[in-house]
Structures are given as C-alpha cells and as structure tokens.
Amino acid sequence: MTATEETQDVPWGDVTPDAARRLMVAAVEAFAERGYHATTTRDIAGRAGMSPAALYIHYKTKEELLHKISTLGHTKAVNILATAADADGTAADRLAQAVRSFVIWHAGHHTTARVVQYELDALDAEHRAEVVQLRRQCDAAVRRILDDGVKSGEFEVPDIPGATLAVLSLCIDVARWFNVQGRRTPDEVGASYADLVLRMVGARPRS
Amino acid sequence: MTATEETQDVPWGDVTPDAARRLMVAAVEAFAERGYHATTTRDIAGRAGMSPAALYIHYKTKEELLHKISTLGHTKAVNILATAADADGTAADRLAQAVRSFVIWHAGHHTTARVVQYELDALDAEHRAEVVQLRRQCDAAVRRILDDGVKSGEFEVPDIPGATLAVLSLCIDVARWFNVQGRRTPDEVGASYADLVLRMVGARPRS
C-alpha cells in the first residue's frame, strides 16, 4: 500500500511548501502500513528523506500531521457531497452524482481514506470535534438530497437518517476493499453504486 | 472501546483453557485501541493480568493471536451467511436473514470485527491465504442467494458479483460506525438494512 495510487495528480498538491507536502505523503504511507501509534515522527521524516529536525519545522507533533490529513480529507468529502447536493437537476441526478464522485474519491485515494477513517480516535479532543463537524456536513448534504427526492415524489424512503447513513457507509467502505489490481475501475464502481443507491431510495435506475 | 460489548455472552467462550481465552480478549482490546503493530505481547499479557512467560505457554507469537482471532471471526461470518443461504424460504427471506444476522454480529462485536477487517495485512502469507478462503465462502453464500432470487424471478440484479460485494460491504462497515451509545440497536440496524438490501436487488421490502 503506497502513495502510487495518487501519482496521477500530485498528492496533497495544495500543501506548501513542498517539504510539508512530502511529509504528509510520507505520514499517510506510514500510518496506513503500520498504524498511527506504531509510527514515529522519525519514521515519517525518514520516508520523506528528511531529518527529524526538518520535520519539526513544519509539524510540531505527529498528531498535527494526522489532524492536517484528516481535515483536508474531510474537507474534500464535504466539497464533493455539497457540490452534488447544490447542483441543478432532479434529486435522482444529484444523488447519482454524489455517490459516483464520493466512490471515485474513496477508490482513488483509498490509502488516505483508510487513515482518515480508521485513526479518528487518535485525534485529540479539539481536533476530533472539528472533524465531527465536517462529518455532520457530509451527512447533511446527502440528507438534503434525500429530503428533496421524497418531497418531489422521486424517492420513497421510510427512514431518511438511516438511509443517509447507509449511503455514506457504502461509499466509505470502498476504501477498505478497493484494490488497484482488481477487476473494477473507480469509475465502474461509481456507476454501479449510483444505480444500487437509487434502488435503495426507491427510485428506478436511470439506465 | 473495550470488550464490554461482548459481555452478554462470554467472549470467545469456545476458547479453552480460560487463560488462552482471556489473552484473546486482551489482544482484541489492545489491537483495537493501539493497532497491531503498536501492541506488544507484554501489553497483551499485562491486560490479561499475566506475565509474558504465561502468554507464551498459549501463543508463540503476537501473529498467532491475530491469526486465531481472525480465523474464529471469519468462521463465525461463514456460519452466519451459509446458515441463511441454506435455510428454507424464498430468496428474499434468506437474503433478509443473512443481512439481519450479519449486521447484528458486526454491531454486537464491532471491536473484534474492526480488528479482523483492518489488520488483515498483518497476517503472515499462509494465514492470510486461509482467511482469504473463508472470505470467498462468505462471498459464495451471498452470491448463491442472489443467483437463486434472479432464477426465481424474485430479484433483478444486473451484476451479481458487484451486488454481492456491495451487500457484504454495507454489513461489514457497520463495525466501523456502530456506537453502543447511539440511537439504534443492533436489531434495528439489522431490520433496516435487510429492507435496504432487498431494494438494492430489486425485490420489494416485505414490510
């Protein structure tokens, strides 16, 4: 499990300077391979070809690195889902787009997504509270689409909070099982999952 | 996150002698809290109130403990799904039962399930191959129900392997998000997910 999954675009391209960016890439790799608690800042610096002292210029603690990774990952998730929720089109179009793009992100960035999802408990209380807020925004975006679809008569959903949770869960778990050597591309999984989710909410698949 | 989730029945009650059982409980707790690689056999022995020497009487390595936890967890999963697949009733009845019982297990044993799912890469090659075989049996049980439902005209599933993967993924991810302090009981999640999955395969919910 390496960062090669993310080499098509420059991973964490928004993070500057480049040394700070390379340390984030190294931290994601190390956390994914060994877990947060088994990783030292020395390991991370070494993977990035730097000294521990050079790491401390950019990040005071290992937790600061995890916090940054988690915040950027969750902000991306909010953007993907809110963009789909705010788009034009029917509720079915917007739900299909939300699922497709959220799945493609989790498949294409599965290493980062695993770290973000499985190491939440390692964040300190304040940082965890920030991330929980971002997760509520993800939830709200999907719930908004389901509400709209029920109101317009497109969807039939007896339990909107429960269906919202299931839709997000299905997409997030792609990060666990997705295999770059597997038979399905991220786009194929995204298209297939969009159809499955439309069925879950009682809409007919559009294809 | 502790083993208290499993205190209604004795956790790992089939494992004897009792010292070996207590070490497994301690290992699951430690792996879940700190990750496999950050846990030492000394940590595990300490949690079980034993000396490291006492641990070695029962388990030669930390990997042997993970292997045992993973094998028992996966064997339970195979039993749950094969029992539902082999039961009498319509394909819809059997699929609902498979999902309900698999979800209830993942909610009720979420700490164990997280360890089993997230630490697969820590198994050695031979043990990992054994576990992969058990996972194929889980897959085969669900696929058998979907095949039967398509043949009988109960289900409409364009991509049976893809739908099988999605059904299992949805149930497994319950272990990630389930919270014993949350609003939903394992039974409620199981019932709700059985309905969502029946929709996914193009059957009408029975309720």
CB of B132 less than 8 A from some CB of A: no
Task: Give me the mean pLDDT over the B177-182 stretch.
Answer: 92
Q: What is the chain B residue with the closest CA to A34?
A: B37
**Domain-located, residue B121:** yes
Percent residues over pLDDT 70 in chain A: 94
pLDDT at A8 over 80: no
Per residue in A64-100, pLDDT tens? Answer: 999 999 999 999 999 999 999 999 999 999 999 999 9
Least confident of A5-9, B63-67, B125-129, B177-181: A5-9
CB of B36 less than 8 A from some CB of A: yes
Residues A130 and A73 in one domain: yes
Task: Give me the mean pLDDT over the A188-204 stretch.
Answer: 94
pLDDT at B4 over 90: no
CB of A46 less than 8 A from some CB of B: no
CA distance A110 to B118: 13
pLDDT at A4 over 80: no
CB of B182 less than 8 A from some CB of A: no
Q: Do A170 and B165 touch (CB under 8 A)?
A: no
Q: Do B196 and A35 touch (CB under 8 A)?
A: no
pLDDT at B28 over 90: yes
**Domain-located, residue B76:** yes
CB of A167 less than 8 A from some CB of B: no
Least confident of A1-15, A40-54, A57-71: A1-15
Residues A20 and A66 in one domain: no
Residue A173: pLDDT band with limits 50, 70, 90: very high
Q: Measured between alpha carbons, how far apart are the two ends of chain A, in Å?
A: 35
Q: Do A173 and B174 touch (CB under 8 A)?
A: no
Before A205, cis peptide (omega within 30)? no
ipTM, two decimals, is 0.91
At residue B9, the pLDDT reads 63
At residue A13, the pLDDT reads 87
**Domain-located, residue B162:** yes
Residues A94 and A189 in one domain: yes
pLDDT at A163 over 50: yes
CA distance A193 to B13: 39
- The candidate with the shortest Cα–Cα distance to A207, out of A107, A196, B107, A176, is A196
pLDDT at B132 over 60: yes
CA distance B47 to B55: 11
pLDDT at B204 over 70: no
At residue B117, the pLDDT reads 92
- Compute the mean pLDDT over every residue in chain B, rounded to the nearest whole number: 93
The residue segments making up the domain with residue B104 are 62-200
Q: Do A1 and B169 touch (CB under 8 A)?
A: no
At residue B45, the pLDDT reads 97
Residues A28 and A115 in one domain: no
Q: What is the DSSP letter of B140?
A: H
Angle between helices B125-151 and B62-86 (to 10 degrees): 10
CB of B177 less than 8 A from some CB of A: yes
**Domain-located, residue A207:** no
Per residue in B93-122, pLDDT tens? Answer: 999 999 999 999 999 999 999 999 999 999
B192: nearest CB among A36, A162, A172: A162
Contact B199, B205 (CB under 8 A): yes
Task: Give me the mean pLDDT over the A114-129 stretch.
Answer: 95
Contact B95, B145 (CB under 8 A): yes
Q: Which residues of A touch B162 (CB under 8 A)?
A: 184, 189, 192
Mutation site, B31, B43, B165, interface A, largest A CB count within 10 A:
B165
CB of A121 less than 8 A from some CB of B: yes
Q: Do B196 and A163 touch (CB under 8 A)?
A: yes
At residue A6, the pLDDT reads 45
**Of the residues B37, B58, B79, which one is the last residue of a structural domain?**
B58
Number of structural domains found in chain A: 2
| Burial label, B14 (beta-carbon count in 10 A; 0-12, 13-18, 19+) | exposed
Mutation site, B106, B135, B173, B207, interface A, largest A CB count within 10 A:
B173
At residue B201, the pLDDT reads 97
Q: Which residues of B touch A170 (CB under 8 A)?
A: 166, 169-170, 173
CB of A120 less than 8 A from some CB of B: no
pLDDT at B161 over 70: yes
At residue B7, the pLDDT reads 42
Instruction: Count the helices and strands in chain B (H runs, E runs).
Output: 10, 0
pLDDT at B42 over 80: yes
**Domain-located, residue B207:** no
**Of the residues B32, B58, B84, which one is the last residue of a structural domain?**
B58
Residues A101 and A121 in one domain: yes
CB of A204 less than 8 A from some CB of B: no
At residue A14, the pLDDT reads 87
Residues B99 and B87 in one domain: yes
CATH code assigned at A162 = 1.10.357.10
**Of the residues B41, B58, B75, which one is the last residue of a structural domain?**
B58
Q: Do B196 and A34 touch (CB under 8 A)?
A: no
At residue B114, the pLDDT reads 94
Which residues of chain A form beta strands (DSSP E)? none
Residues B174 and B137 in one domain: yes
Contact B1, B104 (CB under 8 A): no
Per residue in B55-78, pLDDT tens? Answer: 999 999 999 999 999 999 999 999
CB of A118 less than 8 A from some CB of B: yes
A22–chain B nearest CA distance, Å: 24
Residues B49 and B139 in one domain: no
Q: Which residues of B touch A136 (CB under 8 A)?
A: none
At residue A113, the pLDDT reads 95
Residues B145 and B93 in one domain: yes
Residue B174's identity, in one-letter code, is V
Residues A94 and A42 in one domain: no
Q: Do A200 and B202 touch (CB under 8 A)?
A: no
Residues A48 and A70 in one domain: no
Residues B48 and B109 in one domain: no
Q: Which residues of B touch A166 (CB under 8 A)?
A: 170, 192-193, 196
Q: Which residues of B touch A202 (CB under 8 A)?
A: 199
CATH code assigned at A13 = 1.10.10.60
CA distance B205 to B113: 28
Task: Give me the mean pLDDT over the B181-206 stretch.
Answer: 91
